[in-house]
Amino acid sequence: MQLLSAPPVPYHQLYLMHFQNMEDNRLIWLFVWAVIVDIITGFAKSLVTKRTTSTKGTTGLIKHGVLILVILTLYPMLDVNGMESAGDAFVSFYVLYYAVSILENWGQMGLPLPRWVKPYIYKLSDDYKKGKNHDERNY
């Protein structure tokens, strides 16, 4: 009976092999660098806007660290189980999330951005500056 036979390589060894293979994965590197650039631009923004607090910085670093840990743990697991495209989609989502965050930080520091970008980034839009929130509905 084929279902009851042990796999040729134990799961933990497969996992470790796929974990090591992430070293050559450009999407993983892009994710890690996006997190690093977001941390740097966030810190620079806090200095420029004079809103630097150790609590907010520590909380942000913990969130970034946990997310990196989750991605670097989950991605090889998805890869081992034949769901590499799901892992790529998951990591791509977070790369885009961090790209938006970097653009927000960049714009809030007053650095130049193309005009067409500003309306699409909520924190840089006129509605955000006026204090309007379209998510709240008055019933």
Please write the tens of the pLDDT for every residue from 19-42: 999 999 999 999 999 999 999 999
Question: Taking the complete model, does pTM exceed 0.85, yes or no?
Answer: no
Helices (H), the chain: 11-21, 26-48, 54-80, 84-108, 126-130
The whole-angstrom separation of Cα 90 and Cα 84 is 10
Q: Per the structure block, which two tokens stand in for 119?
A: 């309306």
Which of 65, 32, 48 shows the shortest CA–CA distance to 106? 48
Q: Return d(Cα 139, Cα 131) in angstroms, integer.
A: 19
- The pLDDT value recorded for residue 135 is 47
Owner of token pair 């809103």: 51
Tokens of 54: 């150790």
Q: Does residue 46 register a pLDDT over 50? A: yes
Vertex 123 angle, CA 92 and 113, to 5°: 75
- Rounded Cα distance, 133 and 110, in Å: 22
What CA–CA distance (Å, rounded) separates 7 from 14?
Answer: 10
pLDDT in tens, 58-105: 888 999 999 999 999 999 999 999 999 999 999 999 999 999 899 888
pLDDT at residue 1 is higher than 60: no
Among positive and negative, which fits the CA dihedral 70, 19, 37, 113? Answer: negative
Q: How confident is the model at residue 106 (pLDDT cuts 50, 70, 90)?
A: confident
Q: Which structure tokens are listed for 16?
A: 């470790």
What pLDDT is stored for residue 115 in this prediction?
77
Query: Is residue 111 predicted with pLDDT exceeding 70?
Result: yes
